[in-house]
Structure 1
Amino acid sequence: MVLDRRTRVSGLIHEARQDLAYRPRIRYGPRRARLPRQAVPVVVLVLVAALTTGVVVVTQLPEQTGETVALRQPVTRQPLREQAPAVQPTQTPPPAVAPLTSIRRPNLFVVAAKPLRPAVVAKIAQVAGVRAVERADAAEVGMDGKRVQTLGVNPSTFRAYTPKPTARSDRLWRNVSAGEVAVSFVLGNDGGLSLGRSVTTAGRSLRVGAYATMGMGGIDAVVSRQTARALGIPENNALVISAPKADSAKLRRALLRILPRGSQVATINPVLAVPRRTTWSAGAFMTAPQIKTALTAAIGKLGRPYVWGAEGPDTFDCSGLVQWAYAQAGIRVPRVTHQQFVSGPQIPLAQAQPGDLLFWRHDPTNPGYVSHVAIYWGNGKMLHAPRTGDVVKIVPVSTRNFAGAVRISPGVAARVR
């Protein structure tokens, strides 16, 4: 049981109130009035109905039993040249991708509204405990009507900061270098962005070349920096930092003193130095009336369609349904699945009560990633929003790829960002 997270986690997430590991909030282009979540964002990608002729395969990676990366095959050197106009900004072959030589565990993610000056990046690299810094480009991009947090990266160097199944796939990074987009397994599988499908923006075409989770929370798509330039994503406004032996909370505070005003620093794989706690007070959890209200709200949405990224009141994704239902009881729950997973203590499934949350790790590209959530209904049943093409429903609890059960603590949940 992980009943010791309250002291360790709550202090850290209190400091990371704008945690971009979960949802980068960067906009680009001319300032506009705030759009509703379902509206079209500044840069819009519209799906082309036709599929590519590539064959969808699942590649088993060497020495990684059970870990897979789904890719579109074959990969061509000029995959977009026959489409006019294409995302490819020039007609030169894409840069070669360097082989993987090491794996770096990312611990912090930084994003700013403007490009980070080289002097600032150099200063960050010199902070005690920082082992490596990787520059990237970050923005929210529209894909198939969905608002997708997207990174522009150097495939040769960024791959070292991703989970092993993703990092080790040479084909995946060649796809990205060639001008294709790699999307998370959740966005692809649950969100309906099928492999090999094409999306367009401002007359440019972009193919979904791989499903691959990057291990950075709300980051659901990655393109090459060359492609990012063509899409208009801001340059050098993000950093991925590896600091495996530094206390993440202290390092985060140090970085905020260096970074420009308004920059945001997220924790990824945080290193915590706070002593463990194993007890919770009786008042740390929801009351019976609050639980009843949340369950009543959730059951009232039976039959409503699943839409990736939707937060209600008429359509939902899995974590959006949880957030909306608990909000009706006055409980502030974070937005995405892996945030909700740390919103209270883990409990044995056998001890689950109605209103507890159940979680799964269904993502084969990152087996440790928590990718789905449901509300425990009682008597072995759960209520959830499954995936694109399905609706909110009550079904028997499945233990396949089960990650754990969590009892929501309103005080902890309210501080997760």
Structure 2
Amino acid sequence: MLDRRTRVSDLIHEARQDLAYRPRIRYGRGARLPRQAVPVIALFLVAVLATGVVVVTQLPERTPETVALRRPVARQSLQAGTATAPPTQTWPTQTPPTQAPPLPVAPLTSMHRPNLFVVAAKPLRSAVVARVAQVAGVRAVERADAAEVGMDGKRVQTLGVNPSTFRAYTPKPTARSDRLWRNVSAGEIAVSFVLGNDGGMPLGKSVATAGQTLRVGAYATMGMGAIDAVVSRQTARALGIPENNALVVSAPKADSAKLRRALLRILPRGSQVATINPVLSTPKRATWSAGAFMTAPQVKTALTAAISKLGRPYVWGAEGPDTFDCSGLVQWAYAQAGIKVPRVTHQQFVAGPQIPLSQAQPGDLLFWRHDPTNPSYVSHVAIYWGGGKMLHAPRTGDVVKLVPVSTRNFAGAVRISPDVAARVR
């Protein structure tokens, strides 16, 4: 998942090496809206993969993906703030009376593999989007709305999309689910399995944000690990998400690193471009010298820092020092040893070479694929303590703990290379 921060106004967060833009939301003349009354809304901070470091292409894609859905919503009428909904469901009374009814969702007719994700500080003009579409190798471009939105106290990386067209950029099981996209069009929110299961946003839950109430309608992978949630553009407008500030680019035969550089020359200053399903020509690194890894004192410092947080609560998106999610604990502990580790679990998975679990040493990282909607996605990380035990922050409602290593859904072990870890975006 992407950067989750609580400050505003072009904040630079050194731990994640990315630029944050957080527009201040005000009401009236010069008065700032109370913090608890609005969502924290910020532009996505994109973590771009360093050349030669491949995430998605290293992961197997043999396991079929699934989509978990709550029961379908009835076609809603939003006139005068009222609605007809299935039994036991309540459509949010906060919905503006003037909001148009949900648009019908067009059938899936084609598929586009996403390769780059773009986010800008301001809406991208049509002329800029047209230039992006004309770059050599680009097959298709989809506009979207991107922001970090406060939901039930969590900072959720959210996309506002057109369900009829955006579905073509998602994995097949998600793209083919008419029911999922009808639910999104009707005002529900689709969240990642990690946010739903670990972050405490289960199917059917009503979440409060920006004076609105949204129901979690589906767990479904969007094929982009940086995205926590998807809503319709109609819902995005009600939440105050900036419009047309993001693009999904499909360029299946263009070198992703070269294409990224070409797009940055076209896009407005300050735009960020992340690699999704990268197409890279740089070969993988085959050999590693002993000096490529952490020193013994660095490992000891990181482990000492991590064990000092036993019993601290898991909080979705938390980076310490008092609360953590799984990858936040890893990043914080290694930072105490002067090691810059990327923030997101699937990025940490490529922060060094993979090793057999039987060869794991204290300080190595262990990874799992627990997401049934995206079995190839690395969704959980722990720190190997030694003696068959690991330190990790499990999920909402749990705490940092030292437990035996579990091999269920195990994805692999990685030995951190400080140089590689610092370059992963």
Length-normalised TM-score, structure 1? 0.84
Amino acid at match of 2:76: Q
- Alignment partner of 2:76 out of 78, 87, 94: 78
| Secondary structure, counterpart of 2:67 in structure 1 | strand
Runs (4+) off by over 6 Å: none
1:322-354: per-residue Cα shift (whole Å, max 9, x none)? 011111111111111011011111111111111
For the aligned residue pairs, the C-alpha RMSD in angstroms reads 2.4
Question: Partner residue of 2:170?
Answer: 162
Counting only pairs closer than 5 Å after superposition, residues 24-43 of structure 1 correspond to structure 2 as 25-30=20-25, 43=39
Aligned residues: 374
Task: Please tell me whether residue 390 in structure 1 is matched to residue 385 in structure 2.
Answer: no
Aligned identity (percent) is 84
Give the distance between the partners of 1:40 and 1:93, measured in 2 at CA. 29
**CA displacement at 1:91 relative to structure 2:** 5.7
Q: Aligned in 2, Cα 1:101/1:84: closer, same or farther, shift over 3 Å?
A: closer
Task: Please tell me whether residue 275 in structure 1 is matched to residue 271 in structure 2.
Answer: no
**CA displacement at 1:414 relative to structure 2:** 1.1
Question: Partner residue of 1:323?
Answer: 331
Q: Aligned in 2, Cα 1:387/1:84: closer, same or farther, shift over 3 Å?
A: closer
> Contact between 2:198 and 2:396, CA under 8 Å: does it hold in 1?
yes
Unmatched tracts of structure 1, length 5 or more: 1-16, 33-38, 46-63
> Contact between 1:41 and 1:142, CA under 8 Å: does it hold in 2?
no
Give the distance between the partners of 1:120 and 1:113, measured in 2 at CA. 14
- Alignment partner of 2:65 out of 57, 67, 76: 67
Q: Aligned in 2, Cα 1:170/1:275: closer, same or farther, shift over 3 Å?
A: same
Give the distance between the partners of 1:372 and 1:401, measured in 2 at CA. 10
Question: Partner residue of 1:48?
Answer: none
Question: Partner residue of 2:86?
Answer: none
| Secondary structure, counterpart of 1:156 in structure 2 | helix
> Contact between 2:77 and 2:101, CA under 8 Å: does it hold in 1?
no
**CA displacement at 1:27 relative to structure 2:** 3.0
Length-normalised TM-score, structure 2? 0.83
> Contact between 1:28 and 1:234, CA under 8 Å: does it hold in 2?
no
Give the distance between the partners of 1:413 and 1:79, measured in 2 at CA. 50
Give the distance between the partners of 2:405 and 2:374, measured in 1 at CA. 23
> Contact between 1:108 and 1:248, CA under 8 Å: does it hold in 2?
yes
Amino acid at match of 1:246: A
> Contact between 1:41 and 1:147, CA under 8 Å: does it hold in 2?
no
Give the distance between the partners of 1:165 and 1:151, measured in 2 at CA. 19
1:60-81: per-residue Cα shift (whole Å, max 9, x none)? xxxx975321211132111874
1:288-343: per-residue Cα shift (whole Å, max 9, x none)? 11111111111111111111111111111100110111111111111110110111
**CA displacement at 1:164 relative to structure 2:** 2.2
Does 143-152 or 193-202 show the bigger shift?
193-202
Task: Please tell me whether residue 413 in structure 1 is matched to residue 421 in structure 2.
Answer: yes
Give the distance between the partners of 2:364 and 2:77, measured in 1 at CA. 47
Amino acid at match of 2:392: H
| Secondary structure, counterpart of 1:414 in structure 2 | helix
Question: Partner residue of 2:136?
Answer: 128
1:6-31: per-residue Cα shift (whole Å, max 9, x none)? xxxxxxxxxxx99xxx9994534448
**CA displacement at 1:374 relative to structure 2:** 0.5
More RCO (CA 8 Å, sep 6+): 1
> Contact between 1:322 and 1:375, CA under 8 Å: does it hold in 2?
yes
Task: Please tell me whether residue 375 in structure 1 is matched to residue 383 in structure 2.
Answer: yes
> Contact between 2:365 and 2:413, CA under 8 Å: does it hold in 1?
yes
| Secondary structure, counterpart of 1:68 in structure 2 | coil
Unmatched tracts of structure 2, length 5 or more: 1-11, 28-34, 42-61, 84-90
Give the distance between the partners of 1:75 and 1:84, measured in 2 at CA. 13
Q: Aligned in 2, Cα 1:394/1:29: closer, same or farther, shift over 3 Å?
A: same
**CA displacement at 1:194 relative to structure 2:** 1.6
| Secondary structure, counterpart of 1:350 in structure 2 | helix
Give the distance between the partners of 1:79 and 1:28, measured in 2 at CA. 33
Give the distance between the partners of 1:201 and 1:411, measured in 2 at CA. 40
**CA displacement at 1:281 relative to structure 2:** 1.5
